[in-house]
Amino acid sequence: MNVLGGAIMVNVPDPDASADFLITHLGFTDTLSDDGLAVVFSAEAGLHIAFLRVGAPDFIPESIAGPLNQGMIIVLVIDDVDTEYTRLRQAEVEIVTPPVFSKWEGNSGERYFQMRDPNGLIIRLTEWV
């Protein structure tokens, strides 16, 4: 198998609100907008994120078609956590976790902070160190 690409699809009450958040604050671009669907893209990361309105028939299986605002974190790797933290605080983005360091094995780890989008999704901006 040769995987050619991919995307994350998230079920939310207001797809446009989550898409606009990523466009406005994180530099994503709008690639597709339709009734109940909003898809954004980060060229730097090669990442598509699709937001689908809760209850849309395209989200199957139906058993998992509720809103995904708990138990999931969207992680985006960046190169300067402190600068982005300052910028996003000044933009009055809701920060739910201020910058912290999570140590892995040896001297490596990640420095990150987390914010909440208008649909309650948690987005972590992380810098691997």
Q: Domain count for the chain, please give it.
A: 1
**Distance (Å, rounded) from C-alpha 118 to C-alpha 67?**
13
pLDDT > 80? residue 57 = no
* % of the chain surpassing 70 pLDDT: 95
Examine residue 19 and state whether it is found in any structural domain, yes or no: yes
Beta-strand pair 47-53/73-77:
unpaired
Over the stretch 11-22, which tens digit does the pLDDT of each residue have?
899 999 999 999
**Distance (Å, rounded) from C-alpha 21 to C-alpha 124?**
14
**Distance (Å, rounded) from C-alpha 28 to C-alpha 76?**
12
Q: What is the CATH number of the domain that holds 43?
A: 3.10.180.10
Examine residue 44 and state whether it is found in any structural domain, yes or no: yes
Over the stretch 68-92, which tens digit does the pLDDT of each residue have?
656 789 999 999 999 999 999 999 9
Cα–Cα–Cα angle for 80, 14, 43, rounded to 5 degrees:
35
DSSP code of 62?
G
Enclosing domain of residue 113: 7-55+67-128
Which residues, including other chains, have CB under 8 Å from residue 110's CB and lie 6 or more apart? 101, 102, 104, 126, 127, 128, 129
